Amino acid sequence: MSKYIYGIDLGGTTVKIGFFNLEGDLLDNFQIPTNKEENGKNILIDITNALKFHMNEKNLNIDDIKGVGIGVPGPVSDGVVYRCVNLGWGIVNVKQELEALLGVPVFVSNDANIAGLGELWKGGGSGYKNLVFLTLGTGVGGAVIVDGRIVDGFVGAGGEIGHCPTCTDGFSCNCGKTGCLETVASATGVVNVTTKILQETNTPSNLRNYDKLSARIIFDEAKAGDPVATEAIEIFGKNLGFVCAMVGVVTNPQAFVFGGGVSKAGEIITEVVKKYFNEYAFPGIVASTEFKLATLGNDAGIYGAAYLARENSQ
Ligand SMILES: [Zn+2]
């Protein structure tokens, strides 16, 4: 009987691979570099070789493997990824190609989605079946999970919450629109909001003493009571809270879970988002909706990819 699963998080620089039992214990993990030469044509072959080498080392054969889950940095629908700029990929049928190479069932989703599934299985959303995961990093990624399943949508754009239009004017986004959530709520966004306040006001602020601002500095100064940092964090929370209020009446999640580099600021994030969520959201969902921090860090992806394979393999 198959006893193990592999969870793979395919990123632009490295491929993280986790080896799990069916209970979700991470038994082993390793990584290989992402070979982007010739439009990434060897990436899936490299992954296959790494898994076969690992199975050899552990004295396992392919029948011991129940399935393989993989997260890729681009929109996915039905195992097909539509475009991964980071990898040089156009349309690739990851499921079909990797199944042919490996000989086991393969399940594919987008990287933010698998991180959300990981948090649902073993992290900050553990015990929930309905949650929305937001990764606050350079951009804002999202995953919408309903009854334990990712909502990928028609062309894989389900959960692209970073590109929700927000309640303020915002800045231009690299998707081509203006005012997307990630232009104010990502690490870059928080810096942009703060810089604008510093330029447009004379409010005294410690932040004026820094040569270069980062989201981390701004959150630290906000915790210390700096007025400009506090105003920037209120704008961050207001926009996130507003978007959570909208998403909240679409899928009615049990919790919103926040991960990514910005979430390292801690409870200040969940507190400010909850404050504005409570103000904007449909009263019927206010009391029952929780706001939590992610706990798995960079391992969320491999956990979620393994969960995807575990739930979908026969
Ligand atoms: Zn956008």
Ligand 1 is a single-atom ion; what residues have CB below 5 A from it? 163, 173, 175, 177, 180
Per-residue burial over 169-191, b = 16 or more CB atoms within 10 Å of its CB, e = otherwise? ebbebeeeeebbbbbbbbbbbbb
Mean pLDDT of 84-107: 94
Distance from the alpha carbon of residue 165 to the mean position of ligand 1, in angstroms: 8
Per-residue burial over 216-229, b = 16 or more CB atoms within 10 Å of its CB, e = otherwise? ebbbebbeeebbbb
Domains 4-118+299-312 and 128-295 agree in fold: yes
Q: What mean pLDDT is reported for the chain? A: 94
Distance from the alpha carbon of residue 162 to the mean position of ligand 1, in angstroms: 7
pLDDT bracket for residue 157 (50, 70, 90): confident
Per-residue burial over 28-49, b = 16 or more CB atoms within 10 Å of its CB, e = otherwise? eeebbebebeeebeebbeebbe
Mean pLDDT of 65-91: 91
Q: What is the pLDDT of residue 169?
A: 66
Distance from the alpha carbon of residue 170 to the mean position of ligand 1, in angstroms: 10
Q: What is the pLDDT of residue 188?
A: 94
309/139 Cα distance (integer angstroms): 27
Please, what sign has the CA dihedral across residues 80, 84, 87, 89? positive
Distance from the alpha carbon of residue 254 to the mean position of ligand 1, in angstroms: 26
Distance from the alpha carbon of residue 309 to the mean position of ligand 1, in angstroms: 30
What ranges do the domains of the chain cover? 4-118+299-312, 128-295
Structure tokens given for 4: 């193990």
Q: What pTM did the predictor assign?
A: 0.91
- In terms of CATH, what superfamily is 4-118+299-312? ATPase, nucleotide binding domain (3.30.420.40)
Q: What is the pLDDT of residue 241?
A: 97
Query: Which architecture, in CATH terms, is 128-295?
Result: 2-Layer Sandwich (3.30)
Q: What is the pLDDT of residue 274?
A: 98
Q: What is the pLDDT of residue 168?
A: 62
Distance from the alpha carbon of residue 164 to the mean position of ligand 1, in angstroms: 7
Distance from the alpha carbon of residue 240 to the mean position of ligand 1, in angstroms: 14
Distance from the alpha carbon of residue 174 to the mean position of ligand 1, in angstroms: 6
Helices 187-200 and 227-251, axial angle in degrees (round to 10): 130
Q: 225-282: per-residue pLDDT in tens?
A: 999 999 999 999 999 999 999 999 999 999 999 999 999 999 999 999 999 999 999 9
Distance from the alpha carbon of residue 192 to the mean position of ligand 1, in angstroms: 15
Distance from the alpha carbon of residue 32 to the mean position of ligand 1, in angstroms: 31
198/192 Cα distance (integer angstroms): 10
User: Residue 48 pLDDT > 70, yes or no?
Assistant: yes
